[in-house]
Chain A
Amino acid sequence: MMKKILTVLVFFMAAAAVFPVLFLVCGSLMGNTELSQILLPVLGDGEGFASWKLMPLYPTFSHYVELLLDSPEFFVMFWNSVKITALTLTGQMLVGTPAAWGFARYRFPGKKLLFTIYIALMMMPFQVMMLSNYLVLDQTGLLDTLTGIVLPAAFSTFPVFLMYRFFQGLPEAVIDSARIDGAGEWKIFFSIGIPLGSPGMISALVLGFLEYWNLIEQPMAFLKTKEKWPLSLYLPNIGTEQAGRAFAASVLALLPAVLVFLAGQDYLEQGIVSTAVKE
């Protein structure tokens, strides 16, 4: 009985969590007139509260057509997001993987201090680092460039921490065996470390994708040129008359994240678990 009650409770909680997504999909299929009637108290001068319904009165794909065929701005921002995310994740893999391997497999003076700084930096929210980041980017001439967004993110400490956990979990005996067999450090890293630590890397990639695909604060702070804005800044630029297009854009922006999540769901769980395990 208790199990049933819990099941029902969980079901309702899950439904509540999924409800915004249903809103988005439903809103993207509504006509402008219907949307105006429903959202008038929010978007216009209407009184009362906005209402919602899960089934459009007259479903239409016009907003998708309009967005896909008549909104080149959407695609500019989409590909900006792709660029930022891809470059950032690539950078993180190139920089973070060796760093995590180093922390996990080697002993060197000041390792603990350095790792503590890494953890401390990871804990700091963006708002704390924003000013210093801004000053550095300004001095290096990277302000208002995609590099200014990508470069700090590529050196993010979170994927290092995440992969560190995975690399640390590799059996020491395997590494020693490789050394006995005559494998060098690079050989051990590329042939044993990366293949065996790939779940951690994928986990870092999935989490990183979800984070950088929805990046909003850094572009707002560091990018003045609209041409370089990512998709996360598209919605604030849509007027109230284009609510339908905003819903459609949200659904399309959601799709890659959903696909990445589904593809890396297992690794993501492992990553989350690994970060939760006490060292």
Chain B
Amino acid sequence: MKRKKILKWFGIFFAAMLVFTFLSRAADSVSVAKIHASAPQNQIISHIVSGTGKIEGSRECAVFVPEGLKIAQVYVKPGEAIKREQAILMILESSIQESIQKKQDEIQELSLKISDIQSQKEINDQKKQNETKRAQEDLDAAVDNGNINISNAQNEVNIAQQRLNEYRARRAAEEAARQQELENGEADFGDGTDGQGNDLTDGTQGNSEADRQQEQALMDDVRAKTEALNQVIMNRNREVKEADRAKQDAAIPQVQDSTEETLQTQLERRNEELGELNVLLDNKGEVFSPLEGVMKTVSAQTGGQTSQEAVAVVYELTGELSMTGRITREDMEYVSVGAAVKLEGVSKTVVENAVVQAVREDEAEPGTFVMTVAVPESGLSVGESVEFTVEQSSGPYSCCVPLTALYGQSGQEYVFVVDTVDSILGEVQMARKVSVQVKEKNQTTAALAEGTISSSQKVITEANREIQDGSRVRLQQS
């Protein structure tokens, strides 16, 4: 009986061990990482930069509305298709009327100012004309008066000169007559010439002194008259010169004053604005699209006010198209001007030969770049969302593994290769850590430096749990 009991326990023990064998196997199968592995491939690394962009037109049309008006409602959104004469937004009528009143006041004010300026200008012109006329008259008077004075002085000089000449002529005649008498007396009294001569000479000398004084007086008179003439001439020239300068001063044009033109321009602008406001009022405050297209931007907001900037910008449907999309700084390495871009619109239209036109950093969002792509003629339309793809290939590389097989940080990458190890459980697969050097990689594949992994080795590409060096793994059939 005792032996049977022991044998029973023996049986129970082995049965329990059998059960635990299955349980431990089941637990082991759960705990062992299930992996997918593949051998390194020889392939080309393609860098694909993709994202979403929007087709834009190259021709744009801005819609302006007079400043300071209250916006009652905005009807459209950016990217929305719009037809010609379709309402973009509506302005509050009371706001328009208020603005019209204000414009009218401004126009009236400007008109009055212009009128004042014109009146002032006429007076100034008249003054100027008078001033010029008077200067000319003064000049003419100075010339005429001067000429008369010179003529008078010249006459005085001539008279004095004539007196002197007449005196000298009379003296010469008297001298000639005396000489004749002397010649006649010599013939009568022969030897007494010297004595007579001496007497005559003495008598002549008394007359000569008086004559010289008279002649001197006449000569002084001539000299005085001549000086007077010179003085008159100088006076005349000075007066003429002064009059001429006064005339020249009077001829100087007035300072340019553009106030009137400015006010006139302002007046015209106000009139135009008034006209626009009247049109707006006639349209019951609605602002219409000037053409058929797609809304690019709508800066106006319901409840806001219009500003100097356009309330909306509309893309024209005609003209060349472009696409703008955003890429990251990392993507910049693979995107350059001139690179080919593939576009696929929501309408399933595919464009293969689009070209990158420009890439610039977004100032509002540093680190993000805006890529502009020239879109050739295609079925894509303005405002359509497109998926863009820029592809750049390098290689081929002889040792490429999926990126999911790569672990570690940049410069310290490693992969796990599958080793078959003889263990108590039989031949089992174990993960072995192998440090690698990455030559190139993209979003899916990494090219490793040759020599680190042989082509016969299998690299773990996928695991259902974290694995470490020496971890047991279970290879799953792909």
Contacts and interface: CB of A to CB of B under 8 A. Distances in A.
A262 B24 CA distance: 29
Contacts of A69: 20, 23-24, 27
A146 B7 CA distance: 26
Main secondary structure, interface of B, reads helix
B425 interface: yes
Contacts of B13: 255-256, 259
B423 A71 contact: no
A227 interface: yes
Interface in B31-48: 31
Interface in B1-41: 3, 6-7, 9-10, 13-14, 17, 20-21, 23-25, 27-28, 31
B23 A73 contact: no
Nearest to B27: A69
Given A225-B422, A259-B13, A74 B24 contact: yes
Interface string A136-150: 000000000000000
A155 B426 CA distance: 29
Contacts of A256: 10, 13-14
B6 A72 contact: no
B423 to A, nearest CB: 6
A82 B14 CA distance: 10
A68 interface: yes
Contacts of A78: 17, 21
A72 B30 CA distance: 12
A259 B24 contact: no
B424 interface: yes
Contacts of A262: 6
A72 to B, nearest CB: 4
A58 B17 CA distance: 26
Contacts of B7: 263
Contacts of B3: 263
Contacts of A252: 17
Interface in A39-85: 68-79, 82
A79 B21 contact: yes
Given A75-B24, A227-B426, A237-B424, A70 B31 contact: yes
A242 to B, nearest CB: 14
Nearest to A264: B3
Contacts of B425: 72-73, 76, 227
A179 interface: no
Contact of B27 (A70, A73, A234): A70
A111 interface: no
A68 B23 CA distance: 8
B423 A259 contact: no
A76 B422 CA distance: 14
A229 interface: yes
A226 interface: yes
A226 B20 CA distance: 21
A227 B423 contact: yes
Nearest to A237: B424
A263 B6 contact: yes
A90 B279 CA distance: 115
Contacts of A216: none
Interface string A242-279: 00000000001001100110110000000000000000
Contact of A263 (B10, B31, B422, B426): B10
Contacts of B24: 68-72, 74-75
A35 to B, nearest CB: 22
B338 to A, nearest CB: 61
Given A78-B17, A263-B3, A73 B10 contact: no
A30 B27 CA distance: 24
B27 A227 contact: no
Contacts of B20: 68-69, 75
A72 B25 CA distance: 6
- The CB with the most chain B CB atoms within 10 A, among A72, A76, A262, A263, is that of A72
Contact of B422 (A70, A75, A226): A226
B31 A259 contact: no
Interface in B411-438: 422-427
A233 to B, nearest CB: 9
Contacts of A73: 423-425
Contacts of B6: 259, 262-263
Nearest to B424: A73
A177 to B, nearest CB: 30
Nearest to A70: B27
Contact of A227 (B9, B25, B28, B422): B422
A78 B21 CA distance: 9
A56 B68 CA distance: 90
B23 A260 contact: no
Interface string B269-301: 000000000000000000000000000000000
A259 B10 contact: yes
A227 B421 CA distance: 11
A79 B14 CA distance: 10
Nearest to B16: A68
Interface string A69-105: 1111111111100100000000000000000000000
A75 B423 contact: no
Chain A CB within 10 Å, residue with most, of B6, B21, B24: B24
Nearest to B4: A263
Contacts of B422: 225-227
A229 B422 CA distance: 12
Nearest to B23: A69
B478 to A, nearest CB: 26
Nearest to B421: A226
19 contacts: A68-B24, A69-B23, A70-B28, A70-B31, A72-B24, A75-B20, A75-B24, A76-B424, A76-B425, A79-B21, A226-B422, A226-B423, A229-B424, A252-B17, A255-B13, A256-B10, A259-B6, A259-B10, A259-B13
Interface of A: 68-79, 82, 225-227, 229, 234, 237, 252, 255-256, 259-260, 262-263
Interface of B: 3, 6-7, 9-10, 13-14, 17, 20-21, 23-25, 27-28, 31, 422-427
Rank and list the top 4 A-B pairs by shortest CB-CB distance, nearest first.
Answer: A73-B424, A75-B21, A263-B6, A227-B426
